Structures are given as structure tokens and as C-alpha cells.
Structure 1
């Protein structure tokens, strides 16, 4: 497994990190030009999904500052029905990218998945997030389905 670059370390998340996780989700959406469709959408997601015990969270740290985030959960593979580890969020702040932090966090997620007996790691990405897609392809991820939506 890759290690974090020198000067960085990993910190386990905790329930009190909800506001920080919210900020990271907002940063990611803003960076991708996406905005939640209604006020409170991120808060509703966190209220329904975030539980530091069942949906573990890790922070890549530089000194005492959070610079990257990995938030995991559980999902079912739509083809096999197998339960798998699912990446809810992988985000590295722009000024810390291209240093191996994202690769480390995905390796960390893979180790957690293996420890849980999972045979795969699942995630979703926006199709125009080319940097992330390049990382995922380099790490062996393959497109298996397209996620489609229709506004109502």
C-alpha cells in the first residue's frame, strides 16, 4: 500500500466532524459547478447517512489542518447483489493534489473493504471530473454502469 507523503498523516473521523464533512462536500460541489437543488440538501444527506460508526470517515492531515477526506459506507452491487464498501466522498483540497493523497486514501479504502471480506470497492464520479477519472482508471476501477437521472 502507498503511504501518505512526508508531513501528512491520517486521522480517524468522529461524530463531531459533521460540520467539517459538510464543508468538504460544499467545496467539492462548488468546484464541480454543482449546487444542491434545495437548501439543506447536504444537511439532509448527512442527517440520513452520516454515522461515524457505520459510515466511517478519515481525514488526511497536514499538521493540524484537514486537507483530504475519505467517507465510506456500504452498498450492494447491482449485478451480483454482494454487499461492498462504497466511497461516499473522496476529496483532496486543490493545493494538496497530485501528491499521492487521493491514491493513498483509495488504497486505505481498499484495505478496509478487504478486511470486511468485500471483493470490490464501489464509487461514483461525474463524467467531466477527468482528473478523478484518470486516478480511478490508473487504480484499476472500471465503468460498469451509468447513473442516469431525470428531473421531475
Structure 2
């Protein structure tokens, strides 16, 4: 598969420890879209627990002039997409591998290949580490995401099952 190219006005950048608040903001957007009535207070704790130099994050920013259709200004770029990666262990073989914690593209910027660019970034990072596979979790009702992942070669490995106890 060829390396996808960003549309004009978009820029891919690797985040750093100072991007915690931005990662939290985009994580809240992701889960808020998927579960509009859910309490999301736990997401900050999750990020505090897992966000580190070993769990890199990338953002796709759009120039503020492109986003607002106004002349160039001193307003900084706007993050409209996010990829957060980490490490998991294959429970059958015991191999360490890359895991996608979060992949998000803002609704107004979808269907432009941005998620494919982020997936390519994830796969490149994983290969550079020597990983033999990459995993992710997707909600069963998120059909657009499932179609994207399948198109990129991802296949179901297992099912997460739950039983409410209350």
C-alpha cells in the first residue's frame, strides 16, 4: 500500500508531554460522539496513568486560515485528528506488539484519508520497533471505523464480551 498524502493545509506532528490536555480533549470528543450520555470523568485518570514517552501520540493539525477560510493569522494550527499508541502483549504467543489506544478524526474532516494516514503512521512506528502485529479495539456499532480497518487489512482476532452485574 502506498504512503497516503495529507491534503493541503493539514500537517502531521508528533506530540509530546505538553500535549496531555489536547489528548484528553480529543479523547473526550471520541467517546462523547460514540456514547453521548456517558460520564467521561475517568478519561483524565486513564491518560494520567498511561500517557508517557512510551505511548506516543500524533496529531493532524489544520492551518487556522484553512479551517476558518480566513487570511493567514497568528492563530496557531487546530488539532483535528489524533493517534495514541501503546504496547500490548499477545496472550497466545506472548509477543509484545503495538496497540492503538485512540484514533480520532473530527467529523468535518472525515473521508479525506486522514485516518488512513494515522494508521500508516501507527504501522510504521510498530514496524520500526520490530513488532509483528498491531491491534486495536473498535465498538461493534462503529461500522464506518470497522470498514476502514478491514480495508486496511485488520481482521477480528477476538471478541470482548461483557455482562452487567447490576
TM-score, length-normalised on structure 1? 0.93
Query: What is the CA distance between 1:116 and its match in structure 2?
Result: 0.3
Structure 1 position 55 matched with structure 2 position 55 = yes
CA contact (8 A) 2:86 2:98 kept: yes
| Equivalent residue, structure 1, for 2:26 | 24
* In structure 1, distance between residues paired with 2:162 and 2:45: 19
After superposition, residues 40-79 of structure 1 pair within 5 angstroms as: 40-51=41-52, 53-63=53-63, 64-79=77-92
Q: Which runs of 5+ in 2 are unaligned?
A: 64-76
Distance 1:79 1:5 in 2: 40
Runs of 4 or more off by more than 6 Å in structure 1? none
Listed as ranges, the matches of 1:1-152 within 5 Å are: 1-33=3-35, 40-51=41-52, 53-63=53-63, 64-152=77-165
Match of 2:70 in 1: none
- 1:115 deviation in Å? 0.3
TM-score between the two structures when normalised by the length of structure 2 = 0.86
Alignment length (residue pairs) = 150
Consecutive unaligned residues of structure 1, counting only runs of 5 or more, are none
CA RMSD of aligned residues (A): 1.4
Q: Any idea what the Cα deviations from partners look like across 1:66-87, whole Å, max 9, x if unmatched?
A: 0100000000112221100100
Q: 2 CA distance for matches of 1:35 and 1:23?
A: 17
